[in-house]
């Protein structure tokens, strides 16, 4: 019974309030123990509701986790990049930094074993990244031509690249600040988005060699 957090529809205030209680209960318990050790009964008790109320909103603790992970990331995202923010390198860099900060927070405050938590978090953060990037790129020219990816392809590749780089960074024993990490990663993400965002396909090594031979 997981509701898409990004759905544009009104939710009854009582429903929203109960979900907020359950979401907070999950976050509190995750700071105390591993996700695998958390039970529905424990979540219900911490939130001050009964098990029947829990199951009226979520099928299981994994559905609650998906909801909480995406809602939490959306809240951070909207605080820094409000809806309608344009596609600009500085906004993309801020997006990369937000993902890195989110991953570092999980790495530092959620003890192992996390079980399926990492997989579910990856799914939700990537989905939000993809939606944000598609929204940015959607208003740009999308004329098809040979070698030019679609907006959806570009958003998918970029979201996977951002997430993967952020995970690797978060697992380092000594991490540079998240803003420095974002600066380092930004040129690579921009290069991948260049064909869609700027209408120019990056030159491949093979094409570059061919051009140099023709000029010789």
Which pLDDT score, from 0 to 100, does residue 70 have?
87
Pairwise CA distance, residues 119 & 117, whole Å = 5
The tokens for 135 are: 């929204």
Closest of 45, 137, 161 to residue 87, by C-alpha: 137
Averaged over 53-78, what is the pLDDT? 92
Pick the closest to residue 8 from 83, 106, 95 (CA basis). Answer: 83
Share of the chain above pLDDT 90, in %: 47
CA atoms of 92 and 87, how far apart (whole Å): 7
pLDDT more than 70, % of the chain: 79
- Is residue 210 scored above 80 in pLDDT? no
Domains and CATH numbers, the chain: 1-61 (1.10.10), 81-199 (no CATH)
Predicted TM-score of the model (pTM): 0.75
* Rounded mean pLDDT, 23-36: 88
Residue pLDDT, tens place only, 88-100: 999 999 999 999 9
> 65-74, 145-154, 181-190: which range is least confident on average?
145-154
Q: What is the pLDDT of residues 159-183, one digit of tens each?
A: 999 999 999 999 998 999 999 999 9
Model pLDDT, residue 117: 79
Tens of pLDDT along 118-165? 888 899 899 999 999 999 888 665 555 455 778 899 999 999 999 999
Are 159 and 126 in contact by the 8 Å Cβ rule? The answer is: yes
Q: How far apart are CA 52 and CA 44, in angstroms?
A: 9
Q: Which residue has the higher pLDDT, 23 or 204?
A: 23
pLDDT at 204: 42
pLDDT of residue 18: 95
**Model pLDDT, residue 31:** 82
Would you state the pLDDT for residue 130?
Answer: 94
């Amino acid at each position: 019974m997981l509701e898409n957090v990004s759905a544009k529809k009104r939710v009854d205030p009582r429903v929203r309030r109960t979900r907020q209680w359950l979401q907070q209960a999950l976050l509190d318990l995750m700071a105390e123990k591993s996700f695998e050790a958390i039970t529905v009964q424990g979540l219900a008790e911490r939130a001050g509701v009964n098990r029947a109320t829990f199951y009226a909103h979520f099928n299981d603790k994994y559905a609650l986790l998906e909801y909480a992970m995406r809602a939490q990331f959306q809240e951070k995202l909207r605080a820094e990049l409000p809806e309608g923010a344009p596609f600009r390198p500085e906004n993309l860099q801020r997006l990369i930094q937000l993902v890195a900060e989110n991953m570092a927070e999980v790495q530092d405050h959620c003890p192992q074993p996390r079980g399926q938590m990492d997989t579910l978090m990856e799914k939700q953060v990537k989905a939000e990244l993809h939606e944000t990037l598609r929204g940015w790129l959607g208003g740009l020219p999308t004329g098809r031509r040979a070698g030019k990816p679609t907006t959806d392809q570009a958003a998918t590749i970029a979201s996977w690249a951002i997430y993967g780089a952020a995970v690797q960074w978060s697992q380092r024993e000594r991490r540079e600040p998240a803003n420095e990490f974002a600066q380092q990663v930004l040129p690579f993400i921009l290069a991948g988005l260049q064909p869609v965002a700027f209408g120019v396909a990056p030159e491949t090594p093979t094409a570059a060699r061919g051009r140099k031979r023709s000029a010789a």
